[in-house]
Amino acid sequence: MKLLDELRCIFLIIFCVHAKKCSKKASLATFNTGLTPRLSEYEVRRKMIPAAVTSLNADVICLQELWFEDDIQRMVEAAANEKFDSYSPLHSAVNSISTETSSFWTRTLSAISDAPCLTWRLLPFITCKLWYCRGKGKMGLLQCMMKNCLSYVNAMPQECLSCIAIGYTNPSTGIGRCVPLFHKYRRFNIQGLLLLSKMKITSARTHTFIDKKVKEILPRGYIEAEVEGVGTVICTHLTTNFSSTKYEYNLKYSNPKQQHADEITHLCEKFKYRHGKHIIMGDLNTGPLSEKRDLWGDFPSNYKMFHKCGYTSSYEENNGTCTYCTDNSIVNNTSRGKLLDHILLTGQSYKNPKRIFTRRRKGTNLSDHYGIQVDVCFD
């Protein structure tokens, strides 16, 4: 009888803990928009995504792969209409991204300085590329350029180098995206990040994992923001499993997996042991390896590093399925599903983790990734 009473008490305790309603909650979402001409239906998708994102019933949204200023402006304007605060590496402050200037000459000088690749340093780079790397495929071209043209690569502005990697598919798109003289908004968002919040962003800043003086093809980093009622939010996009061999010749790593692991270590050391409860979300380019769930995650051993640091992937631990999937109309380079996108929590309770943007619109998916959304309690 005594044992039954003890079991009854334990049951009641567990029931009460899990039945407790959130007195304060926020809905969080992450979505890799894939807004690059290198992915199909770019022009169609870039027009649909702002309305889709701002119509989410979400309070805080971390977006990745918004590389071009005109795409960011379109998103920020749509978000402002729905009372979202915004911040990106192109912002000078929260909600401040305006690049409009008054006089003709000021606008002309601004066009020259803002266009990523309006520089004479591009000419020797192109000459070297044609001389050494003509006819190479995407990965072969990248490795060839970094091996044979590194001095010219290092002489180029960082924005130009990254813009070519992201925006060049042919001379027309290369000029249109990387030398956009006649566009109102011309800058390149090197990290591709944008944070939106209906809750006030009280402070925000950007960080890079590698010193900005070191030239990279795609510098990785994160937005660190304080969001009223939520706390510290980190919006990031980690190194991708682009190749098993070295392609960032200016870095110490022998392959992308090592670089990716170093980025996780940086996040763990900076936030887990200093900030108490916080949230990391974005395309983390890693996930579980689970044959049962048909998940073949990139860098699965690196993914375990997050668990060792005490993070919980709210969607993944609830039998989450792929976010980079073979049934996606934009995906063209995978035969296996991967769960790469995450909202990592540090002890907060949560509800309703789910995938978003799985439905096709106008015959296409919005991106090569599906998004993730979860309601988090802040009691």
* Angstrom distance (rounded) from CA 322 to CA 379: 31
Is residue 158, in this structure, part of any structural domain at all? no
> Is the residue at 143 inside a domain?
no
C-alpha closest to that of 197 among 317, 279, 264: 279
Select the highest-mean-pLDDT range: 128-142, 160-174, 337-351: 337-351
> CATH no. for residue 216?
3.60.10.10
Q: Mind listing the pLDDT tens digit for each residue in 87-112?
A: 999 999 999 986 555 444 444 445 45
Residue of higher predicted confidence among 128 and 247: 128
Instruction: Confirm if 215 and 227 have CB atoms less than 8 A apart.
Output: no
Query: Which residues lie across from 85 on neighbouring strands?
Result: 197
How far is residue 92's CA from residue 205's CA, in Å, rounded to a whole number?
9
Q: What pLDDT sits at residue 301?
A: 96
- For position 258, what pLDDT does the model report? 96
Give a yes or no: residue 173 inside a domain: no
Average pLDDT (273-288) is 90
Is 270 a domain residue? yes
Kindly indicate the confidence band of residue 180, based on its pLDDT and cuts at 50, 70 and 90.
Answer: confident
Longest dimension (CA), the chain: 89
Answer whether residue 36 is part of any domain: yes
SS3 content of the chain, % helix, strand, coil (to 5): 35, 25, 45
H or E stretch covering 195: strand 194-197
Which residues are registered as beta bridge partners of 290?
295
Tokens of residue 255, six digits = 């392959």
What is the number of structural domains in the chain? 1
Distance between CA atoms of residues 8 and 13, nearest Å: 9
pLDDT tens digits, 28-82 = 999 999 999 999 999 999 999 999 999 999 999 999 999 999 999 999 999 999 9
Q: Is there a domain that residue 162 lies in? A: no
**Site of tokens 């392959």:** 255
Which of these, 288, 282, 293, 292, lies nearest to 220 by C-alpha position?
Answer: 282
CA distance 238 to 254: 17
The pLDDT-based confidence of 278 (bands split at 50, 70, 90) is very high
Write the CB contacts of 127 (distance below 8 Å, at least 6 apart in sequence). none
Strand partners, 267: none
Task: Locate 93 and state its tokens.
Answer: 């402050």
Return all residues near 374 (Cβ < 8 A) that are at least 6 apart: 27, 28, 29, 314, 315, 343, 350, 351, 352, 353, 354
Query: Does 18 fall in a domain?
Result: no
Q: How far apart, in whole angstroms, are the C-alpha atoms of residue 342 and residue 372? A: 7
- Find the domain containing 64 and state its range: 23-99+187-377
* CA angle centred on 161, ends 157 and 164, rounded to 5°: 135
The band of 177, judged by pLDDT with boundaries at 50, 70 and 90, is confident
User: What region, left, alpha or beta, does residue 310 occupy, with left being phi > 0 and alpha being psi -120 to 50 degrees?
Assistant: left
Token digits of residue 269: 């050391």
Q: Does residue 297 sit within a domain? A: yes
